[in-house]
Structure 1
Amino acid sequence: MWLRYGPHVADTSLRRNLTVSAALGLLLVPGCHSAEQSLPYAEAIQFSPDTLEKLVTRTVAVQDDHSTVSYRYPILGESHPLTAEIRTGMAERQTAFLEELPDHGSPELVQDVELLAASEDVIGARTTALTSGVRGAGTETSTLWYDAGTGEVLPWTSLFRDEGSLEAAHLAVAQVLKDGYQLSVDQMPGLLGEIATRAEADPDSVSAVASEPAASPEAHPEENGEEAGTDGAAPTAGDADLTDPEQAWEAAERWAASPLADLAFSTAGGLAVRLDPSDVPSAGRVSEVLLPVEPEETEEVLSELGYHARSAAVGANSDPEDFPLDGTLTAEGSSLDCERLKCVALTFDDGPGEHTEELLDHLGEYDARATFYVMGSLVGEFPEIVERTHAEGHEMGNHTWKHDDLTTLSAEGVAEDLKRTDEAIQEVTGVAPPTLRPPYGAMNSTVSDATEHPIILWDVDTMDWQNRDTGAVAKHALDESKPGSVVLFHDIHKSTVDAIPDVLEGMHAEGFHFVTVSEIFGEDGLKPGQPHTDARVD
């Protein structure tokens, strides 16, 4: 649900110089909390991607005899870095879930994404993963921030200037627990308690935020569309500079247990920090505790990206009507990083044919992407099948016009054959095939020199062209495939198509993800005219 609010927007020029000594002074003063006083609460800004009319979302559910996995995510543009990072993170959790399934029950993994901010400058996303029926079942959350200026996907720590700022933010949250919930320092959970305890015992052990303002009263010109200046306190000596992406990611690992890892901006213009109710006994019977860090408390701790993110969350650009998308940003493109995942590329030669649509149905049940090496002479016979194959996210490859051995042709003959096939595929799909598979895997220097297509072979030959035994084909594929494998099938054989459900079920249960040839090799993994058999790293 979109959290709407009135014309009030946080006054970002408010300044409050938070020093550790000031924060400690507050922490050491016993809080006063009358029975009538309401508990402090923040209204977090977060909303479903479905509320944005121009934004395409994709929902997938795969159910088999052993488990159910489902996920939904926004498609922010073709191969958009944030979409790719969200999807890859979801895929990593799915693999871990499937690899640890119990022998009984009906385990389930449900993953979803909400947006925390959306503008031309910054997009924030929060992923939730809910597991049931497995050991350690529960809810896991993570947040990511996309900086359009740099094209980087960044962790929550990048919203802060340095680690001194992180400590100050934790002390601000600790103060809310002290004043609003009557928790003593030793009752505070996790890092909040550790930082507050250290600050109470030894003020010098906690880095202070600079006592001088970080900028002029017009502090953050970037919120008015201007480039931010370089005024402001430098990172504390020895601290990580969280404006550097690499250092921000390293800091996110060090601070992984922080409740700020699941922060959002509040409708008041400050921060909303989530805690588990079990960590706040006086919170009552609630599903989550959302602690407010007031806007003035954040003035000296946010980075430039943090100010952009706050503006995106509470400013005019966060209105759904103004979300910056157009019709060119609906194609998904590559969205999985196979260097981090168990990926496999299923490839099908010699079609399209009478069994191809049944094969597409099987693939759809597992949200499996595949690559089809089609013959140009058949594209015109089955244009609807080719169009459907492309529309469902599969990749089309060039398998020559009519399956000639390319090594028997001249350079001109090779070039003409491939060009003719490319044009036939592009006429139906609108996209030229990115790769070539020569019939029989036959190639020589003449073939290599005559094409700009990367040449795709295979490392797993199911021998389905020779052995029409459905069980044997499935077993061979399951036994021989490794992460990074390219598996050869032929969809002109009914026995092969009948084997695919068992192949998909078996590989899915092992945590594999089914991707196209282009996805498994990655953006820089394919070289024109060069043969490639697999993307395995073993």
Structure 2
Amino acid sequence: MPVTSVSRKLAITAALSLLLVPGCHAAEQALPYAEAVRIPLDAWPAVQVGARSVATEAGTVGYRYPVLGPDHPLTTEIHTSMAERQTAFLEDLPENGKPALSQDATVLAASPRVVGVRVTETVEAGVNETFGARTLWYDAENDTVLPWTSLFRDEAAIERAHLAVAEVLEDGYDMPTEQLPGLVGEVAVRAAQAEEDAEAAADASPSPADREEGALDLADPEEALRAAELWEGSPLADLAFSTAGGLAVRMEPGDVPGAGRVSEVLLPVEPEEAEELLSELGYHAREAALADEPDFPLDEGLSAEGDSLDCSRLKCVALTFDDGPGEHTGRLLDMLAEYDARATFYVLGSLVSEFPEVVERTHAEGHEMGNHSWKHDDLAGKSESGVADDIGRTNEAVREVTGIDPPTIRPPYGSLNGTVRKSVEQPLILWDVDTMDWQSRDTDKVAGHALDNTVPGSVVLFHDIHPSTVDAVPEVLEGLHRQGYHFVTVTDLFGLEALSPGDVFTDARVG
């Protein structure tokens, strides 16, 4: 396949907005460096951006991710991996200080065939700051998210790419082979030994490609992931395509002393070299990166409010509030907003028309509306038509305000029977953590019970009509957030596709 044309056809101002040039390199800079194609999320209005940010006395966390569709695999993977990193950060917070974790994403390539995204993280702790980055690549042909290794023809090509980087450091930055950092140095030393002495090469430490029997097929998602694990720590995990049509490989300035005072070092792998290394997906990715305009494969009905989280990998919890809306619901929404928390409100149809503004706000802020019957009757005491009428009337009341039916039902008192189950067209959601707030009306007891009994996958029952309950919510939010929990709606917790009409669910605990 021929090398893709590198003509950008971009005005200078547009080019500056798209390209991140390392540090203070001047135009006459003699050191070899690459200009990487990195597109900020904000540069393309067609791509919605999901964001979360929470600041507490213990620390600050925040992240942004591209929303390509409500169930797009790349959106889900980026969002979930950022949430996993946030949980690990919160679980390891020190007793003193106020560290901050910030995660962001930039687009490396975009076409109907492939989308590449760079995920970055910065941790600030006092005067110390650490930075990390990796890339993910969506292959539309297989509807799969792949690691960086999938861009290469095979593991031999990965090894050759490391040697190309080593050559740039040796020739352009005057670095001796024995001083080359990390895997680049290991590969270079191994190659030098092989050239000098075949026997020494046989005794040398094995390359990542040789650590397991048989060559890995990088076109296979699982084997590409395995290869990424074997090559962990490689600078190629943070590669981009260069404006010249080759590769731009990022390295820390501290690993390249001759680079001078720059924020990052982007080393070039020239187009001719890259041509021999790339896989079919890699060629498509390069073509997309060098296109005049990114072509994002956006799904219909996009919304940045929905949680595209894989809760099977996370500490998720669904906070649910029954019997409203009421006079305290607005204050509760303010509390949830401080933690970017999503909750589920099981409302009474008879109250929706009394508090339409509250219902509208609840829906607009990304919370979920659930059906809790018209006026809290025991549905198990009704006929089939009586249940259907009650639920249908409440669905209509919610739909008139929000535009959609509640996706789930919570029967009052948790009371249901076979008649109820066959009379409804939505799943029935109970709970596994009952705070008994309606009985105790004790703020400390309500908060303590929620914190002591919640586990990943829990559905926690509250009633937002009681001021004592609403007063308990800040402590619950702070405590669970500090433990690394993510606050999601009921359908996000279970996955809407897993919820069948008439079926009963209490929690989504794993194992």
TM-score (norm 1): 0.84
- Cα deviation for residue 195 of structure 1 reads 1.3
What's the CA shift string for 1:466-504, capped at 9, x where partnerless? 111111111111111111110000011111111111111
- 1:257 aligned onto 2:233: yes
- 1:479 aligned onto 2:456: no
Q: Which stretch of structure 1 is more off in the superposition, 47-56 or 72-81? A: 72-81
Match of 2:9 in 1: 7
- 1:464 aligned onto 2:437: yes
What's the CA shift string for 1:279-330, capped at 9, x where partnerless? 1122122221110001111112111111111111111333xxx555587333
- Cα deviation for residue 156 of structure 1 reads 0.8
**Distance (whole Å) between structure 1 residues aligned to residue 213 and residue 86 of structure 2:** 41
Match of 1:122 in 2: 114
What's the CA shift string for 1:222-279, capped at 9, x where partnerless? xxxxxxxxxxxxxx99211111111111111111111100001101111000111221
Match of 1:386 in 2: 359
- Cα deviation for residue 77 of structure 1 reads 2.0
**Distance (whole Å) between structure 1 residues aligned to residue 491 and residue 306 of structure 2:** 10
- 1:186 aligned onto 2:178: yes
**Distance (whole Å) between structure 1 residues aligned to residue 271 and residue 77 of structure 2:** 30
Q: Which stretch of structure 1 is more off in the superposition, 241-250 or 140-149? A: 140-149
Residues 190-339 of structure 1: pairs in structure 2 closer than 5 A: 190-202=182-194, 238-318=214-294, 323=296, 325=298, 328-339=301-312
Query: Which residue of 31, 38, 49 corresponds with 1:39?
Result: 31
Amino acid at match of 2:355: F
Query: Which residue of 142, 161, 166 corresponds with 2:153?
Result: 161
Amino acid at match of 2:214: G
CA contact (8 A) 1:101 1:134 kept: no
What's the CA shift string for 1:402-436, capped at 9, x where partnerless? 11111101112112211222222122212221111
CA contact (8 A) 1:274 1:290 kept: yes
Query: Which residue of 50, 59, 65 corresponds with 2:57?
Result: 65
Match of 1:223 in 2: none
Amino acid at match of 1:75: V
Match of 1:93 in 2: 85
Query: Which residue of 327, 342, 349 corresponds with 2:315?
Result: 342
CA contact (8 A) 2:325 2:358 kept: yes
Q: Which stretch of structure 1 is more off in the superposition, 195-204 or 140-149? A: 195-204
**Distance (whole Å) between structure 2 residues aligned to residue 392 and residue 165 of structure 1:** 48
Match of 2:345 in 1: 372
CA contact (8 A) 1:398 1:435 kept: yes
Query: Which residue of 388, 401, 405 corresponds with 1:432?
Result: 405
**Distance (whole Å) between structure 2 residues aligned to residue 323 and residue 459 of structure 1:** 41
CA contact (8 A) 1:160 1:242 kept: yes
Amino acid at match of 1:7: K
- Cα deviation for residue 115 of structure 1 reads 1.2
| Partner SS, residue 439 of structure 2 | coil
Amino acid at match of 2:154: D
**Distance (whole Å) between structure 2 residues aligned to residue 246 and residue 420 of structure 1:** 49
- 1:517 aligned onto 2:500: no
- Cα deviation for residue 41 of structure 1 reads 0.5
| Partner SS, residue 301 of structure 1 | coil
| Partner SS, residue 202 of structure 1 | helix
| Partner SS, residue 158 of structure 1 | helix
Amino acid at match of 1:433: P
**Distance (whole Å) between structure 1 residues aligned to residue 383 and residue 29 of structure 2:** 87
CA contact (8 A) 1:52 1:323 kept: no
**Distance (whole Å) between structure 2 residues aligned to residue 85 and residue 442 of structure 1:** 38
| Partner SS, residue 529 of structure 1 | coil
Match of 2:73 in 1: 81
| Partner SS, residue 393 of structure 2 | helix
Query: Which residue of 373, 391, 394 corresponds with 1:418?
Result: 391
| Partner SS, residue 536 of structure 1 | coil
**Distance (whole Å) between structure 1 residues aligned to residue 478 and residue 213 of structure 2:** 54
How many percent of aligned residue pairs carry the same amino acid?
A: 64
Match of 1:504 in 2: 477
What's the CA shift string for 1:161-211, capped at 9, x where partnerless? 2111111111111111121112222111111111122222226879xxxxx
Match of 2:502 in 1: 529
Match of 1:398 in 2: 371
5+ residue gaps, structure 2, are 1-5, 11-27, 203-211
Q: Which stretch of structure 1 is more off in the superposition, 345-354 or 173-182? A: 173-182
- Cα deviation for residue 510 of structure 1 reads 0.9
CA contact (8 A) 2:115 2:296 kept: no
Match of 1:152 in 2: 144
5+ residue gaps, structure 1, are 9-35, 207-235
**Distance (whole Å) between structure 2 residues aligned to residue 454 and residue 179 of structure 1:** 66
| Partner SS, residue 498 of structure 1 | helix
CA contact (8 A) 1:159 1:304 kept: yes
Pair 1:331–1:57, CA change in 2 (3 A): closer
**Distance (whole Å) between structure 2 residues aligned to residue 133 and residue 170 of structure 1:** 32
| Partner SS, residue 330 of structure 1 | coil
Pair 1:504–1:5, CA change in 2 (3 A): farther
CA contact (8 A) 2:50 2:304 kept: no
User: What is the aligned-residue RMSD (CA, Å)?
Assistant: 2.2
TM-score (norm 2): 0.89
CA contact (8 A) 1:78 1:332 kept: no
| Partner SS, residue 128 of structure 1 | strand
- 1:352 aligned onto 2:325: yes
**Distance (whole Å) between structure 1 residues aligned to residue 304 and residue 102 of structure 2:** 24
| Partner SS, residue 345 of structure 1 | strand
- 1:138 aligned onto 2:130: yes
Q: Which stretch of structure 1 is more off in the superposition, 125-134 or 250-259? A: 125-134
**Distance (whole Å) between structure 1 residues aligned to residue 404 and residue 316 of structure 2:** 24
Amino acid at match of 2:407: P
**Distance (whole Å) between structure 2 residues aligned to residue 448 and residue 324 of structure 1:** 40
| Partner SS, residue 316 of structure 1 | coil
